[in-house]
Chains A and B, each alone.
Chain A
Amino acid sequence: MTVTVRCHQLSVSVDEAVLLPETSFSAEEPALIALTGANGTGKTTLLKTLVGRQLPSTGEGLINGQQPYEFDPVFRAAVASLIDTPPMARDMTLTEQLALVRISWGAEDAAAAFTAAEQTLQQLTIGELGDRFPYELSAGQLQLFAVGLTLSRPFSLLLLDEPERHLDTDRVEALITLLEQRVAEGALVITATHRQEIISRAGRQLDLNPIPDHQ
C-alpha cells in the first residue's frame, strides 16, 4: 500500500519561539527523503507533527489526506517512527525483543519471528549480539538495535530522526542499504539527517534551512 504525505504552510510555534517555520511539501511515491537543516531548524518538530505528537500552529500536515491521529488503528498500522530512543526491556535479549515486536504485529509462529529477528540483526551488522541484553551494548550498537526495533514492524511510512547517531561509516552504509530495501518494497521513508552519505543516496532532499536573502 502506498502512502502520501502533504504539508501545506505547516508551522509550529510555542509562545514566541518558532520551532518550525512555514513549510510546504508533498511526497506521493515510495522514496528515501533526506530531511536536512542546521540544528534548531525544525526537523524533529516536523517529524513529531507528522506522527501526531505535536499540533501545528498554522497550516496542516496530512498522511493519506488525513490529519495524523494516533487513535485511528489504520494510521498506527501505516506509520512507524524512531524519534526518541525507544524503551527497551532490561531483562530480554535483543533477539527476544525483536521477535516480540514481530509477534505483536501478527507473526504466525514464534520460531519464524525469532528467525526473522536474527536476520534483522545480521542486516544491521550486529548478528553476533542477539543473545546480549541492552545494557551490554555500546552506544552505536544500541542505536542499531533501536533501528531494528522500528524496522521489525510493518509500515508504509517510516519517519526517522537522525538514525545515524553514534554510527561509524560502515554501519551507516548498512543502515542505508536497509532503508533502500524498504523503499524498494514500497515504503516512503523520511529521515532527518546530517550525514552526507545518506543525503547523497536519498532520492530527494528536503532542506529546512532558511533561503538566503539576495537583496
Chain B
Amino acid sequence: MSAPAQRLKAVRRLYLGREGAPTAGDRWFSLYLISFVTAFYIVPVAYVIGDFLDPSFAGRVTQETSEPYAAAGVTLLAIAALWAGRIQGPVFLTPFLAHTLLATEIPRRRVLIRSVLTAVTGTGLVIGGAAAVGLFALTHTGVWDWSRFGLLAAAAFTGGLQLGLLAFLGQRLRRRALLLCTGLVALQGVAGALLPVVNLATPAGWAASLWAGGPAWLLAALVLTTAAALVLVAAEPAALGRLPAERVVGQSRRISDARLFTSTGNINDAVELFRAAPAHRLHRASVSAGPALLSGLRQDMVGAARSPLSMLSAGVLIPAGAALLTLAAPAAGAGFQESNLLAAVPLGVLGGLLLFFGTGPPAEGWRQLKNEFDAAALFGWAPRTALARRLLWPLLVTGVFAAAGAAGVVVLSGSAHWSEAFWSLGLAAAALSARFFQSMRSRDIPVEFLAPTVIPGGMDLSAVKILVWLGDGVIITVTAALAVVVLPWQPGTLAAVLSGMVLATLIGGWARTGQQLSAGTARAPRRS
C-alpha cells in the first residue's frame, strides 16, 4: 500500500473533484466578501464607537481594578468552550469522509489534523477579530497606545486558539474527565476571584493581566498566554489519535444535516438536531388523570426530569441573561448615560439572546401545544384548556431562574439595583412571550413569502421577509432589550411599553394558531 500521506492526498483530490464541491473561485469570493464587510462596515463602526466613547468610561473599564472581572470572564469563556465542544467539537469532516477514513489504518491524527487546525484557527481569527473591533474603539479614545493595541489583538487571537483547543478537549474527553476539567477551571476562577494573587499563576489571570495589567507585566503575560496555548497544541496529537470514530461520525453527520436544514430555511429542524436526548424514563409518571391544569404541569415536569441537560442549559442561560440585563439596565431611566452605551448595548443584546435561548427547554410544552392544535381531531381539548395546561411550567421556570439571576447581581454588587432587576424581569417576560410567538408558527415557511416582493427601485425583499420569519422570536427579544438599554425612558412609560409589547406578542402568537379561546373544541389548523 502507498504511504498514508499519498493515500490521503489522492482521496482529497477525488473528493474535491466531486460535483458541487467548492471551487477556488468560491473561496476567493468568500475572502472578498469578508474583506469588503471588514473595510466598509466593521472598521468605520469601530471608529465611530471610539469617537462616541467617553474617555473616562474607557479608563474605568481598563484600569487595574477591573482585572478580577476580566479573569472571571475568561474563566467563564473557558468553561463554555469545554462544554460547547461536547455538543459540537472542532473536529468534523463530511460524514462520508469521516466514516471512510476513520475506518482505515491511516493514523487518526493525520486524517483529522487539518480539520482541527482549520476550526481552531477559525475560532482564533473570529475571536481575535471581534476583540480587535472593541480594542480599536478603546485605543481610539487614547486609553492605550497603538503598540498595546497590537499586543492585545495578538493575545485575543492566542486566546481564541486556546478556546478552540478547549472545545476540542470537550469533544475528546469522557464525561467524568470533562467534569473534572471543568471543576479545575472553575476552581482556579473562584480562587482568583477570592485571592487576586492566584491570578499570577493561572492562564485566566495572565489573560486578564494583558487587559488591565501594568506595562511591565504586559510582555510576560503575552508570553505566558502563548505558552499555555502551545501546551494545548502539544497535547493535541495524542488526543486526536484517541478520538472515537463513532463520536466524530455522529457529530459530522449532525453538523452536516444542520447545515443542510439551515441552507433551506428549516431552522426548527436544524435546532432539533442539537436537542438533548431524554436520559431517564419515568413513563408512567407522565400519564395522569386529574385536573387539566395539573396534568399539563406534571407532563412538563416529567419532560424536564427526562432531559436534565436541557433543564441545566435553561438553569445557566436564563439567570446569566437576567444578570447581564440587570447590569445593562442602569441605562434606563435616571441612570441613562450615552457614554455607557458601548458596554450596555453588547451586554443587553447578549443578555436578551441568552434569555431567549434559555426559554427553549421550559417552553418545550408549547411545541407540543402547537402539535395538539395541528392534530386537533386527535386530542379534543378546548383551546383554552390546552393553553392553560401548558402555561404554568414555562412561567414558573423562567420566573424563578430570571429572578435568581437578577437577585444574584443585586446581592453580589452590594448596591440597591432593585429597579434594574425589575426591568430584567420585564425583559424575561418579553423573551417568554417571544418564545410563545415563535412556538405557535407553522414549521414550513408560508408559501406567499416565496413570491417576489419588489419595492420601488427594483429591490426584492422576499429574502428579508423569510429571514424575519425565521428569526422572529430573537428579533422581538433583542429589540425589547435594546429598547430598554438604548432609550432614555421614564419608568412609567417603559413599564407601559414593555407590557404592551408582551401582550401584543402573546395575541399575535395566539392568532397564529387560528384557534378561538371561547371555542368548545379545537378546530383544524391554519397555516401561518
**Chain A interface (Cβ within 8 Å of chain B)?**
53, 70-71, 73-74, 76-77, 80, 86-89, 91-92, 96-97, 99-101, 103-106, 108, 110, 149, 153
Contact across chains for B10 and A105 when beta carbons are under 8 A apart = no
Closest to B7 in A: A106
Contact between B101 and A70, CB atoms less than 8 A apart: no
Interface residues on B, range: 20 to 34
Q: How many Å lie between the Cα of A73 and that of B241 in the bound state?
A: 10
B245 interface hit (Cβ, 8 Å):
yes
Interface presence of B244 (CB below 8 A)? yes
Flag B89-111 by CB within 8 Å of A: 1 or 0 each.
00000111111110111111000
A97 to B101, CA, bound (A): 12
Q: Which of B17-25, B208-216, B229-237, B331-339 contacts A (4 or more CB under 8 A)?
A: B17-25
A70 interface neighbour in B96, B106, B244, B252, Cβ under 8 Å: B244
- In the bound complex, what is the Cα–Cα distance between A87 and B95 (angstroms)? 6
Known pairs A80-B103, A104-B7; A87 contacts B18 (CB<8 A): no
Q: Which of B7, B98, B104, B242 has the most CB of A within 10 A?
A: B104
Partner of B11, one of A71, A87, A104: A104
Bound-state Cα–Cα, A103 to B6, Å:
10
Q: Is the CB of B14 within 8 A of A103?
A: yes
**How near does chain A come to B104, taking the closest CB pair, in angstroms?**
5
Given contacts A89-B97, A103-B10, 14 further A-B contacts (CB under 8 A): A77-B104, A87-B249, A87-B252, A89-B96, A92-B19, A100-B11, A101-B100, A104-B11, A104-B104, A106-B1, A106-B2, A110-B10, A149-B100, A153-B104
Chain A residues with CB below 8 A from B249, complex form? 87
Question: Is B253 part of the binding interface, using a Cβ–Cβ cutoff of 8 Å?
Answer: yes
Q: If A103-B11, A104-B7 touch, does A153 touch B103 (CB 8 Å cutoff)?
A: yes
B interface with A by C-beta (< 8 Å): 1-2, 7-8, 10-11, 14-15, 18-21, 94-101, 103-108, 241-242, 244-246, 249, 252-253
Assess the A76–B103 pair: CB atoms within 8 A: yes
Residues in A whose Cβ lies below 8 Å from that of B99: 86-87
Main secondary structure of the interface of B (DSSP, over half): helix
Using A86-B99, A91-B21 as known contacts, say yes or no to A108 and B7 having CB atoms under 8 A apart.
Answer: no
B241 touches A71 (CB 8 A): yes
Complex CA distance for A70 and B11, rounded to whole angstroms: 22
B2, B7, B15 interface centre (most CB from chain A within 10 Å): B15
Q: How far is the CA of A77 from the CA of B105 in the complex (A)?
A: 5
Scoring A53, A73, A91, A104 by chain B CB atoms within 10 A of each residue's CB, the highest score goes to: A104
**Measured CA separation A101–B242 after assembly (Å):** 22
**Complexed CA–CA distance, A6 and B366 (Å):** 52
Q: Known: A70-B245, A97-B96, A103-B10. Is A108-B18 also a contact (CB below 8 A)?
A: no
Contact of A91 among B18, B97, B101 (CB under 8 A): B18
List of B residues within 8 angstroms of A92 by Cβ: 15, 18-19, 96
Give complex CA distance A53, B105 in Å. Answer: 17
Contact A104/B101 with A91-B20, A96-B18, A110-B14 known, Cβ cut-off 8 Å: yes
